[in-house]
Chain A
Amino acid sequence: MSKEILTTQDLHLYYGDKEALKGINLNFDAKGITALIGPSGCGKSTYLRTLNRMNDLIPNVTITGTIKFKDQDLYAPSADTVQIRKEIGMVFQQPNPFPFSIYDNVIYGLRIAGEKDKEKLDAVVEKSLRQAAVWDEVKDHLHESALALSGGQQQRVCIARVLAVSPEIILLDEPTSALDPVSSSQIETTLLNLRHDYTIITVTHNLQQASRIADRTAFFMNGELVEVDQTKNIFMNPAEKQTEDYISGRFG
């Protein structure tokens, strides 16, 4: 139990009157990759976005239940969303680098936090870009616009940007669905390299991707968590009939 870094208990989420999450109980151990899978509209992205309070941006959302990050209640009135999002970073489906240079993109969080030491910033840029496995491709044009990069490179710069703030948890919302297969596999490699140092939670539509990279897989359907287990078990020997039907492509 002591290894658990993030816990959700009886989490309900409503868009107006519509119940989108119907009581999710799901815990995450520190380090490793967990994949959230399920058909479209099953609530997996919605669930992911409750974990760093990105759903706060949508009007009319009501959330009940508890989410705890290291015993800190994320939805307590005193919770500081800015601090939370520094520790629980997020990468989106559509690569969204800022329209600045690659260098500026990576250090943006730090610079705004007040870090001015040039050497330290340089070191962070290199380390983050290396971790995101994009350093070799961009090291010679760090001061050119990030928008000039390919989609896959942009996405890895976005990952580097999150790493630079040194979060403990990284949430990824279908990080490869807007990318071509080559770029996707580079992102997968990146994530596999990061799994020893970070707790990674990724939503994916791509079952092969889940089976390739995830240590654990959680299957969502109709706003409920159907099953969560070691990835191998989910794919080879699921406990629930629904999971088996989905995995074997009988629906979804």
Chain B
Amino acid sequence: MMNPKTQNKVAIGTLYGVAGLVVLILLALLGYILVSGLPQLSWHFLTAPAKAFLKGGGVGVQLYNSFYLLILAMLISFPIALGAAIYLYEYAKDNWVTTTIRTAIEILSSLPSVVVGLFGFLFFVVKLRLGFSILSGAFALTFFNLPLLTRSIEDSLRTIDTTQREGGLALGLSRWETVTRVILPAAVPSILTGVILSAGRVFGEAAALIYTAGQSAPALDFTDWNPFNISSPLNPMRPAETLAVHIWKINSEGIMPDAKAISSGSSAVLVLAILLFNFAARYLGKRLYKRLTSA
């Protein structure tokens, strides 16, 4: 039998080892992606359209598509998630209806994204005849994003103390006024953090988009901002391959001579963007909290 002191040392050592291993794997992955990808990055690579057969193509359109899709998906899913979270946490009584809703959200959030993609294909692309389009992709991403976002907003509301709600009500504010004028402003920093983090996940999503937003990126005319024109960047009905889908595509069927380099470069851009989201979430969340509370 070991004495408690040795036992303690062994336990702590093991835990450090495991934690270190995780960090090491993460660093190795990041390092590999960045080391092989960063040299490919240039202004040309980030802005030029892709080429199908020749070398020297860029990811400009894909990068733009990723952001446009992200914004559309967020515009659709955020209001719904906010409403759902407010209803669930501030209004709903604990009964079988809310239990059912919560279970549904749990199940939805654990659906493999490729299943969401296939559902999106059958329903939006085929049934609703939206075709392979940004809109189909945005709806699919909404399905993918909604449960996560709802849960994160609900958690944000939970962090606001009950005494704040009582304080609002005791001042003669209605329930709605208390929620919108006291609780939400107080929860903004943490809601924002949740939104940015989920944006990172949406940004890197590929499987849900392959069958909905499509795998082709028609050239865009960045001087044409009429959303009804097919080459306009704003047109939501055009097919739009995103960066994550592009990576998958190149690796499975890319025939350009510099496929490997483009794939590495795209991965680096993707990873950098997601890292940026994460740091922005931390930074903005902290700053906003400080500004709102000056604590």
Contacts and interface: CB of A to CB of B under 8 A. Distances in A.
Contacts of B170: 52, 54, 85, 89-92, 162
B48 interface: no
14 contacts: A52-B170, A54-B169, A82-B172, A89-B170, A90-B166, A92-B166, A96-B164, A98-B168, A98-B182, A108-B181, A109-B173, A148-B294, A158-B167, A161-B167
B172 A92 contact: no
A100 B166 contact: no
Interface string A197-234: 00000000000000000000000000000000000000
A160 to B, nearest CB: 12
Contact of B295 (A81, A82, A90, A147): A147
Contacts of A91: 170
A94 B163 CA distance: 8
Contacts of B173: 82, 108-109, 112
Of A59, A86, A112, chain B has the most CB atoms within 10 Å of the CB of A112
B168 to A, nearest CB: 8
Given A98-B167, A148-B294, 17 more contacts: A57-B166, A59-B94, A81-B169, A82-B173, A86-B171, A89-B171, A90-B170, A92-B167, A96-B161, A96-B163, A98-B164, A98-B168, A98-B186, A100-B185, A108-B173, A147-B295, A161-B171
B52 interface: no
Interface string A45-70: 00000001010010100000000000
A61 to B, nearest CB: 13
A109 B172 contact: yes
Of A52, A83, A96, A99, chain B has the most CB atoms within 10 Å of the CB of A99
B163 to A, nearest CB: 4
B24 interface: no
A108 B294 CA distance: 18
B172 A86 contact: yes
Nearest to A59: B93
Interface of B: 93-94, 161, 163-174, 177, 181-182, 185-186, 292-295
Interface in A70-106: 81-87, 89-92, 94, 96-100
Given A86-B172, A98-B164, A165-B172, A112 B177 contact: yes
Of B94, B164, B182, B294, chain A has the most CB atoms within 10 Å of the CB of B294
Nearest to A143: B294
Nearest to B289: A99
A92 B166 CA distance: 9
Task: Tell me if B's interface is mostly helix, strand, loop or mixed.
Answer: helix
Given A112-B181, A145-B294, A96 B93 contact: no
Given A54-B169, A82-B173, A145 B93 contact: no
A136 B171 CA distance: 24
A144 interface: yes
A39 B163 CA distance: 23
Contacts of A96: 161, 163-164, 166-167
A92 B162 CA distance: 11
Contacts of A148: 293-295
Nearest to B295: A147
Contacts of B166: 54, 57, 90, 92, 96
B188 to A, nearest CB: 10
